[in-house]
Structure 1
């Protein structure tokens, strides 16, 4: 059973979708920076639900169908993004959940696990860093020529569907690896993201302006939830130092490398392993 609805959360409207049976243990998916819930593939969510989980995904504020704020003037902070995740659980009547976070979503998940340990059943961190909330969350990579994954791209009009879809496809390819989906799949995803977004430009800028909230790195040692860290070997946004630091900081955590994967939601080629890791950890 799949349901999508608008819910009042922390004074805004948040679009939430669930997969699976309400009686199953809940699993909350947290998207990345500027990312709506569309980035979590429908079939991926259904397979998690088939593993006996009530899967919950939602649009961050300033993404998808959730409330948007004026571009360049977000009336919220990184802590508010964390509180939105907790608010979604509250509205659904869920005292705790298994958390699965990608990139920024992984930073939100770390903060919840450190600040609200009773609400976290398990923690799966995908392509993220221990440095959420630091002045610069990225460790400097070794000196190297600028890669396609970090190359500057010209500004575009995000209200132009054709231009926006083309840019999203380019960004996904640049951050990905040999297992990244082919163009037809990426185009369908990009078109869906555009068509569901009230203001595609808002989250892309406002999330970064809002920041990540206070640093959480020094409190990662207090996390008690079972934790698995999934990280692509080709991730150029957060090179290998980042997942290793996470694994060293979070007690009893496991680091699992995804060969040939970049800074991207797990591509279909590694789904079997990723799903096994999430469900085993949860």
Structure 2
């Protein structure tokens, strides 16, 4: 793992595969570890140069103040487009997970010549906050998630245990969540509680300027698109993925019955096969 400068900031990246293979760029949601190692390895074995990266204020990327971001969703979209060039490519298949999927949608709309394909995982066509009337909001069981006592973010073991408890509520694998949270904690360069919270929960998106809306522009997308969603997703229920796929011309919707909010390691082969079906440029 190392940093690449793009759009005036340093973005933490990790690369799988050969330098001369077609680029698959994976935007974290918010850290790169949203994309499991197993999936990245399968994509690389399929002949792709896979680069997963941390969004700003997360992981190894430039971190200033997660509680008051001085940039917008459009800036994050430009980060993705600029990173393609910084990595020595002209086009890329762009993947976005969760809030990273919002970044990916806007990046493809604002920079249409840069992205040859899109994979949108567990996301929706509107920004964090109140949803459109036709989109399902967080499942009521999410109240149990929000009522979990917050850990001391400076305590690695407490943070990992909290992640496992959240996963149990969400229907994800608690042990996978525990391991990922510990890895995220280890990669957080600051000892500040707000930085650890931002890395674990993506809280920066609750404070980010995501205007203007982009849902009404989705019909302009021309890049072949895979929309992947977990049927058991309680945070962004599956109707969000269905609506997203319906609005993007020609999009393929893949719903995994055994997936909730996180990409399970066991789904790596199936997800990789679907992503490898998309064109490389």
TM bucket (normalised to shorter chain) is 0.7 to 0.9
Which of 176, 192, 195 is equivalent to 2:183? 192
Kept after mapping to 2: 8 A contact 1:26/1:97: yes
For 1:145 and 1:79, the matched residues in 2 are separated by 31
Task: Provide closer, same or farther for how the CA distance between residues 121 and 143 of structure 1 changes in structure 2, counting only shifts above 3 A.
Answer: closer
SS at match of 1:118: coil
For 2:161 and 2:132, the matched residues in 1 are separated by 27
Q: How much has 1:26 moved relative to structure 2?
A: 0.3
Q: Which structure 2 residue ranges, 5 or more long, are not aligned?
A: 190-194
Name the TM-score, length of structure 2 as normaliser.
0.88
SS at match of 2:62: coil
* Equivalenced residues, count: 271
Q: Which structure 1 residue ranges, 5 or more long, are not aligned?
A: none
Q: How much has 1:12 moved relative to structure 2?
A: 2.2
Name the TM-score, length of structure 1 as normaliser.
0.87
1:65 aligns with 2:63: no
For 1:78 and 1:109, the matched residues in 2 are separated by 10
Which of 189, 192, 210 is equivalent to 1:212? 210
1:136 aligns with 2:130: yes
Kept after mapping to 1: 8 A contact 2:231/2:258: yes
Kept after mapping to 1: 8 A contact 2:36/2:265: no
For 1:142 and 1:107, the matched residues in 2 are separated by 16
Kept after mapping to 1: 8 A contact 2:71/2:209: no
For 1:207 and 1:147, the matched residues in 2 are separated by 18
SS at match of 1:112: helix
Q: How much has 1:38 moved relative to structure 2?
A: 2.2
For 2:237 and 2:19, the matched residues in 1 are separated by 38
Kept after mapping to 2: 8 A contact 1:27/1:56: yes
1:201 aligns with 2:201: no
Task: For residues 182-227 of structure 1, give each alpha carbon's deviation from its aligned partner in whole angstroms, at most 9, with x where no partner exists.
Answer: 52x4433221110101232245332320143421100000000111
User: 2:277 is matched with which residue?
Assistant: 280
Kept after mapping to 1: 8 A contact 2:122/2:261: yes
For 1:119 and 1:81, the matched residues in 2 are separated by 15
User: 1:270 is matched with which residue?
Assistant: 267
User: 2:192 is matched with which residue?
Assistant: none
Q: How much has 1:235 moved relative to structure 2?
A: 0.9
1:20 aligns with 2:17: yes
Task: Provide closer, same or farther for how the CA distance between residues 173 and 144 of structure 1 changes in structure 2, counting only shifts above 3 A.
Answer: closer
1:84 aligns with 2:79: yes
Kept after mapping to 1: 8 A contact 2:11/2:61: yes
For 1:159 and 1:151, the matched residues in 2 are separated by 20
For 2:90 and 2:217, the matched residues in 1 are separated by 22
For 2:126 and 2:140, the matched residues in 1 are separated by 24
For 1:72 and 1:17, the matched residues in 2 are separated by 26
Residues 142-153 of structure 1: pairs in structure 2 closer than 5 A: 145-147=140-142, 150-153=145-148
Task: Provide closer, same or farther for how the CA distance between residues 5 and 241 of structure 1 changes in structure 2, counting only shifts above 3 A.
Answer: same
Task: Provide closer, same or farther for how the CA distance between residues 150 and 212 of structure 1 changes in structure 2, counting only shifts above 3 A.
Answer: farther
Q: How much has 1:66 moved relative to structure 2?
A: 1.3
